[in-house]
Amino acid sequence: MRKQLLLLLLLLSTVPLVAACGPPKVNGYTIERFANLGLADLTNADLSGADLEWANLNGAKLSGANLAGADLSGADLTGAHLAGADLRIADLSGADLTGAHLAGADLSGADLTGADFTNANLTGANLTGADTWTTRFTGAKVTDAVGMSALDISAAKNPRPPSSLNNSSSNNSSSNNSS
């Protein structure tokens, strides 16, 4: 009983210490939701699993950074440098990546629903298994990008609900039958 009580006291005494540490810091920057990291230099930083929901990362340098499994939903990544970054299974839903540089980035399995990649550079990026429903790629460079067909990119540029896709295929088949 005494051992259990000591163990309980030890555990309770560490709780305030953990809470007092606060959110993690990387290269002197606080990593947390709504963080203002615009223009921050986080090149090659390990941010795997980080919670950067709604963070301002406008123009941030994240080339080679490990953001695997990170929550970047709703984040502002306009003009961010993410060349060679690891964004596997990251949540980028609703994120703004307008004009971002993602050449060679790994976005495999990432949630890109509703993200905006307008005028972004995705040259050589890996998008295998990424969810691109309602994702905008208008003007994006996708040369040598893997895991995304021309049809996927076309659908992302012009998102339509599944019912209209079914209607257009049935219309095509009926027009083919009449010829």
Question: What would the pLDDT profile of 17-49 be if each residue is shown by its tens digit?
Answer: 444 467 889 988 999 999 999 999 999 999 999
Q: Tell me, what's the pLDDT at 151?
A: 58
The residue to which tokens 């990251």 are assigned: 90
Cα 149 from Cα 98, distance rounded (Å): 21
pTM listed for this prediction: 0.75
Cα 170 from Cα 179, distance rounded (Å): 15
How far is CA 106 from each of CA 13, 54, 121, 176, rounded to the nearest angstrom?
A: 42, 21, 13, 41
A 10 A CB-CB count for 69 gives: 17
